[in-house]
Amino acid sequence: MQFSSSAYMGVETLVRLAVEGADKPCSTRTLAGRINRSVSFTEGLMARLRKAGLVVSRHGPGGGYVLAKPADQITVADVFEAVDTPSDIASHPLSADAFEDDKAHDIHGTDLLWASLKSHVLAFLNGVSLADLAPESARPFHPARINSMLRH
């Protein structure tokens, strides 16, 4: 299973926005420098992320991009979906029962293996939020985390 560099850079960029917080927008130029990519690449990336509703832009002096919702509500799968072409997982049944009778003779064990692997990878990425990837200091303090930290 391959993911584009845009998917990786999308996650990297949004984690950096999560660290900055909603009160500190980042310009495209600043983000490009932080992810070591060109401004034009970063502009295209941000356009896709904005279209997917993951970031919003603030105009004017001191403007830039911020996350459209809290970091714990944006998953890595959301970012991959926003910047990569749609996965072909949906077009591949995950079990032999799902194949139509006339296509059943074309089923190979590897087809089911790769479809299942893709499904598991996407399920895993859907369970990882930007907040999970942000440095500890950037995460909001939840009561359960505070209690956990007090016990140690």
Q: Are 71 and 13 in contact (CB under 8 A)?
A: no
Report pLDDT for 92: 44
Task: Quick: pLDDT tens for 53-80.
Answer: 999 998 888 889 999 999 999 999 999 9
pLDDT digits (tens, 9 = 90+) for 3-30: 788 889 999 999 999 988 878 899 999 9
CA distance 102 to 123: 30
Q: How far apart are CA 67 and CA 20, in angstroms?
A: 10
- pTM (2 decimals)? 0.72
Q: What does CATH list as the number for 5-151?
A: 1.10.10.10
pLDDT in tens, 91-145: 444 444 555 555 555 556 777 787 788 888 888 889 999 999 987 645 454 545 4
